[in-house]
Each structure stands twice: as structure tokens, then as C-alpha cells.
Chain A
């Protein structure tokens, strides 16, 4: 072992530190390897019906619409909510592949995201048009979207419940914002599909 010598005195083996930090950050190597895995996303059947990453099962319309929606949501977040070059710019997963963005601390900006009137207006608009959009979709796509929205709603509820117990938890806040953004992306996908751009 090459760690610095620990001169503390202990009377029990349980007092020995369980965690020892590696001397270098191992995550980049892990990230590179898991991103190189073919269709590596470890899918949990039923838990997240909307695939986040590539795979043969992804519907074509979702793939195409997701790209458009990502741009749309990214631009919308970037132009409507965030100051140019602002600290939250890297936190928007729509503008960078999910999971490969640099970690950024959740901030008041994240919390402001979900309570921002412009977000709420756009969200309400998308929800209003949702029934008509869904009706226009083929049944399998409609079922996929509804399942995705249900999963996201459940995730939001879980996170809000956890935040209720630990309101200052920056990670929970960040995850909640991510989930809201995922929902916006799905709603935007549906909106785009109606224009015949993705189906």
C-alpha cells in the first residue's frame, strides 16, 4: 500500500477507514469503457420505457424527434433561461450527451428552472396539446410516450418526496431538474412528431 502513513491509534478494527481514495480519478477510464460498450445501457424492463441511449429497439421517430427536441430544448434553455455562458450551461443534458457532461453542482439556477414562469407556460402549452398529439400517433408510439411520461412522473414524485425530507440536497435538486428536462424532451418529441418531422 502506498497511501500516506496513518498514525492514528485505534482500539478496534472497525475503526479502520473502510474507504480509501484511489490516487487518481478512475472515472475517466470507466466512462471510456462503458461508452464503448455496444448498446451498453443496462435497461431495467418497465422502469424506463423510453430509451435514453442508442439501441435497436428505439423507434425511428423517437430517434429523429429526440434530436430535434434536444436542439429545441437546449436552445430554449440556453436562450430563454440561462445567461449566455452562465454557470448552469453545462447542466443542461439536452445540449450534451446524458451522463458525459462534467459534474456541476446544483444551484439556485437549477431550482429556478422548474419554477420559472416561462418554463411553466411552455410546459402547460405542451400538456394542453398533448391529447391531440397523442391521438395522431400510431398506437405503439402512443403507448411508448404514455409509458415514458408515467415513468418520468413517478421519478419526479420520488425525487420531490426525497427533497421533502432533505430540501438542501443539491444532487436531488439536480436530478429533479434533469427529470423535468427529460419530460420536456418527451413532450417536445410529441410536438415535433405532429409536424411530420420524426415519424
Chain B
């Protein structure tokens, strides 16, 4: 089976699960949860930097998704849809726990590209460096560089202007470079 076929099958069975969950089948919804929980929790954890808060955000994400599932278009990506909810939930929880005012930044145009490191770096070290970034820069970096969303998509998820998102990415790159002491391209 080719990768494309596998992807199609995945979308088909995911669509079938969504349909069943829409009809109130919590068992089907549990399947969706099992499939997506890791990525949702990973996103929440990176955004909140707090395991307990990330667990709460993950639970709230799936509860909100359950409530809104009938509005989900099966043609679009369930993963992206869940990530949008997760970002909203994480931002709201974070605002509640530690209100932070982000400074305004100058915009910098930069094409979407993979963020590569000049020399290999330990995963844990990168995660630590990402965790130390200011919230706005970290949010943009996590969505764009780790989860592969475009500037526009990341900006939309975060409720900020695309230019601001790019500026946050520029800032994240600069800070990562300083903390990891390697060139980040």
C-alpha cells in the first residue's frame, strides 16, 4: 500500500469515526482521542510549559471538540481542527494563569522553511531552549517550525497578524541561536 493510499484510508476511517461520534457514539470519539491525544497534548505542553495545565487543556480540547463536532467539515483535517481548539484553550488557560503583555515587534518577511541546525543538538536541549522562549515567540515557533503550519495558519490560530507572527518567529530564531549556540537556519 502506498503512502497516499494509507493516507486516504486514514481519512476515510477517520471520517467514519467522526460520523459515528456526531451521532453520539462516544466509543468512536474515544478512538479519535486515542489517535490525536499525543499531538494535542504535545502542542498544549509546549504552549503552557506545565504538564498539569497541558492535561487540562487536552481534556478541554476534546470536550470542546465533542460539543462542536457536528460543525466539523470532514473534508478538512481533523488534526488541524483539533489543534485550533487546543491553541485557543491553551491561550485562554495561560492568560488566566499568567497574564503576559507581549511587546510589539517589527515585522520581518521570511519564507516558510524548515528550521535546521548547523550542528546536531540533543532533543531535550532544544525542548528546554524552546520552553524558555517568551510565550509569543514560542507559540509561533511551535506551530510553524514543529507542527508545520504556515505563517498565515499559525497567525490565524494565535489570533495575531501574519506580520506579527513572522516577527515572533524572527525573535524565536534569534533567541534559539543564542541559547543553543548554533546557527539556526
Contacts and interface: CB of A to CB of B under 8 A. Distances in A.
Interface residues of B, number: 63
B114 A14 contact: yes
Contacts of A1: 45, 49, 51, 127, 131
A12 B22 contact: no
B24 A42 contact: yes
Contacts, number: 202
Contacts of A14: 114-115, 145-146, 148
B179 to A, nearest CB: 13
A22 B148 contact: no
A115 interface: no
A155 interface: yes
Interface SS of chain A: loop
Given A12-B117, A14-B115, A171-B31, A161 B122 contact: no
B5 A165 contact: yes
Interface string A30-45: 1101110100111111
B38 interface: yes
A51 B24 contact: yes
Interface in A141-172: 155, 158-159, 161-162, 165-166, 169, 171-172
Given A1-B49, A12-B115, A41-B24, A165 B62 contact: no
A47 interface: yes
Interface stretch (A68-76, A95-103, A129-137): A95-103
A44 B23 contact: yes
A20 B122 contact: no
Contact of A158 (B12, B117, B131): B12
Interface of A: 1-2, 5-24, 26-27, 29-31, 33-35, 37, 40-45, 47-48, 50-53, 93, 98-101, 103, 155, 158-159, 161-162, 165-166, 169, 171-172, 175, 178
Given A44-B70, A166-B6, 14 more contacts: A9-B121, A9-B122, A12-B115, A16-B123, A19-B38, A21-B37, A22-B55, A26-B41, A30-B66, A33-B63, A41-B24, A99-B25, A155-B16, A165-B12
